[in-house]
Amino acid sequence: MQAEAAADGLAGGDPAQELGQRLETCYRHIHATAMADVPICNPALGVAATGFRIYGGRAFGIVTTPWFMNLVASDLPGGTPSAPAGMGMTVRIGLPAGEVDFIAGELAGIGRVDSCSLFSPVFEFASMEAAVETAEEAVRAFFDPATLEPPPAPPAPVNRRDLLRGNFGKREEPAE
């Protein structure tokens, strides 16, 4: 991950973290204005940007608000813009943990922001701390290729005859 981050230009300031902070500011403003007193908001939650990193030339991270928790992908300021997509269109993005569907969008003051809803609304969170812990685990899972490892194979079925003969757990050697 660090090699890819260095290749994507994280040597100076971290543009993904900076973009996450800009998203936080934008959503705090939305919360204080357009979403003020809207009943789908969880009063226990605030706004947080979690785990922002550069991957494939875009910034990815989790944005938590009192009304949603989304994995977001955003174009970096001064970076190469992503392929055009109409607002509301589904965009499939390959991440280390697999393909993820995002809804393309625009956010005033930010630009292109594609979102994948993880929770909406977010009433299952009793505190901001619980929501941020969930966001940290989720962002880790999306960028951990180990999440793609197949589960272990189920144990071989028990053969009733072997069980009754006391051969449970023994494997027969192939006949030569």
The dihedral built from the CA positions of residue 105, 106, 111 and 115, taken in this order, carries a sign that is negative
CB atoms within 10 A of CB 163: 11
CATH of 2-148, one of 3.30.1460.40, 2.40.10.10, 3.30.2130.10, 3.40.47.10: 3.30.1460.40
The residue whose two tokens read 């009793």 is 126
Q: Are strands 69-75 and 90-95 parallel, antiparallel or unpaired?
A: unpaired
**Full-model pTM:** 0.75
In the numeric block, the tokens 């989720």 are attached to 138
User: Element (H or E) spanning 33, and its range?
Assistant: none
Checking if the pLDDT of 129 tops 60, the result is: yes
Domain layout of the chain by residue ranges: 2-148
38 φ, ψ (degrees, to nearest 5): -80, 130
| Whether the predicted pLDDT of 156 surpasses 50 | yes
What pLDDT is stored for residue 175 in this prediction?
55
Give the integer Cα–Cα distance in Å for 71 and 135. Answer: 9
Which is higher by pLDDT, 125 or 153?
A: 125
Per-residue b or e along 109-146, where b marks 16 or more CB atoms closer than 10 Å to that residue's CB: ebebbbbbebbebbeebeebeebbebbeebbeebbeee
- Residue 170's pLDDT is 52
Parallel/antiparallel/unpaired status of strands 48-55 and 69-75: unpaired
pLDDT of residue 126: 97
Q: By CB neighbour count within 10 A (0-12 exposed, 13-18 middle, 19+ buried), where does 108 fall?
A: exposed
